[in-house]
Amino acid sequence: MTRLLSLYDATALRLEAAAPWLIPSLARLVFAGVLLVYYLNSGLSKFGEGVLGLFRPDAGAYVTIFPKAMEAANYDVSQLTVFHWAVTLAGTWAEVILPVLIVIGLFTRLASLAMIGFVFVQSVVDVYGHGVTGDDIGAWFDAPSNALLLDQRAFWVFALGVLVLRGAGPVSVDRALTAFRPAAAPA
């Protein structure tokens, strides 16, 4: 029994030594595998046509982000304010840029923190703007584990939280950039 416990302890120590680079690397891999294409497709579909479309979101973007305001404006984008345009444009760009930054590991902590905020706002808009209710919102500590908001997005935020706390890991642009930082002055 002692030998078995020693083997277990030795394995646990090796895993613990690998954790600082393995955990953030796996969190970025999971994010890329589960959410990168989801967010890129969503964000890219919100841009208008042509080069100027990068600064003029299409009507569908406004419907997604401001569903009640669009309904009140009879789905006429010209009836919305500069505020609606700025939020829609910023949200659209964030939906494309933040996931890419996370996957390549550039400004990972900041991008992950911003992405957590994005997921929170996305969830609030889903509930109050799009009327998501009941089983789609879900509840923690219940039997089903497939609710869109509380179940799925909790895992999204957890993976992003790992990146906020641990950084991008060794295979990242963040790590490569450390080579260009000046050495700390001796104390």
Cα–Cα nearest to 87, from 46, 126, 127: 46
Give the per-residue pLDDT at 57. Answer: 96
Is 8 inside any structural domain?
no
Is 43 inside any structural domain?
yes
Structural domain containing residue 82: 21-171
Is 117 inside any structural domain?
yes
Is 9 inside any structural domain?
no
Q: Encode pLDDT of 152-169 as tens digits.
A: 999 999 999 999 999 999
The two tokens of residue 55 are 């600064």
Cα–Cα nearest to 72, from 82, 85, 62: 62
Is 180 inside any structural domain?
no
Sign of the torsion angle spanned by Cα atoms 14, 16, 19, 20: negative
95: amino acid identity, one letter: E
DSSP result, 59-90: HHHHHHH-HHHHHHTTT-GGGS-HHHHHHHHH
> Is the per-residue pLDDT at 107 higher than 90?
yes
120: amino acid identity, one letter: F
Is 187 inside any structural domain?
no
How many structural domains comprise the chain? 1
Is 28 inside any structural domain?
yes
Is 123 inside any structural domain?
yes
Rounded to whole angstroms, how far apart are CA atoms 137 and 117? 18
% of the chain surpassing 70 pLDDT = 98
Identify the DSSP state of 52.
G
